[in-house]
Amino acid sequence: MQPNAEAGVTTATFRWRAILAAVLAVVGLAATACLVRHPVMPAASGTAPSAIPAPAVDEPATGRPKAETAVLAGGCFWGVQGVYQHVKGVNAAESGYAGGNAATANYETVSTETTGHAESVRITYDPAQVTFGRLLQIFFAVVHDPTELNRQGPDVGPSYRSVIFAQDPTQRNIADAYIAQLNQAGVFRAPIVTSVSPRTQFFPAEAYHQNFFDLHPNNPYIVANDLPKLDALRSTFPDLYRG
């Protein structure tokens, strides 16, 4: 995933980026698939992570299945996956694509910004340790900026949009209530543009995208854009941080 700061990047450029990423993956150099342009702040619109309140509506910590699934999209999936892999109660986090169909669920095609997919992360978690509402609190506080439309920092296009793919009515109610709560409280300086969409098929991303955050901590894109998010998780949610 190679970020760009201009919306006018051509389809040819997107294709070139995808081909480059694939070639680099083959030779074990996928760490340069993203090139840093501008850092993404860990909190949205100048808001401190600590200012993001916990959701007033949440699932119970008991009486739920031992393993549940959440699918969240908030920009480059490297950082989203990386943050949630360090959250207590998260059993697995996988980068992938959601919102489009199977035929176009591959990096090269998604990068054309014509498929309807969003770069997403499928999170498997234990609600007895971390609830869906707490996952959303982390999502809004440190993972991404929910006020940016069809982009995230230097990454531009609808595949980088902010989406909560609700897996069931309970998640839908929690997500809708939390967004309303944050908007009513005026937590962010701009309106939240995060959408809440119904459950859709999730397609795992290519192998070279998986665990990229932990495998390439010195990659310039990770250093500038994603390590600050992990630092914010550690300092803001010490009870949920897992080293």
pLDDT digits (tens, 9 = 90+) for 2-21: 443 323 333 333 343 444 34
| Per-residue confidence (pLDDT) for residue 25, from 0 to 100 | 40
Show the beta-strand stretches assigned E in 75-147: 90-98, 118-125
Q: Does residue 225 have a pLDDT over 90?
A: yes
Residue type, 151: R
Q: List the Cα angle 86/92/94 in 5-degree steps.
A: 100
- What number of helices (H) and strands (E) belong to the chain? 8, 8
Helix (H, G, I), strand (E, B) or coil at 222: helix
Task: Specify the pTM.
Answer: 0.83
CB 222 within 8 A of CB 216: yes
Identified catalytic residue from 76, 118, 143, 179: 76
- 233/241 Cα distance (integer angstroms): 6
Q: Facing residues of 122 across strands? A: 71, 94
Residue 123 has pLDDT above 80, yes or no: yes
Fold topology of 11-236: Peptide Methionine Sulfoxide Reductase; Chain A (3.30.1060)
3-state DSSP assignment of residue 45:
helix
Mean of the per-residue pLDDT values of the chain = 85
Does the annotation count 76 as an active-site position?
yes
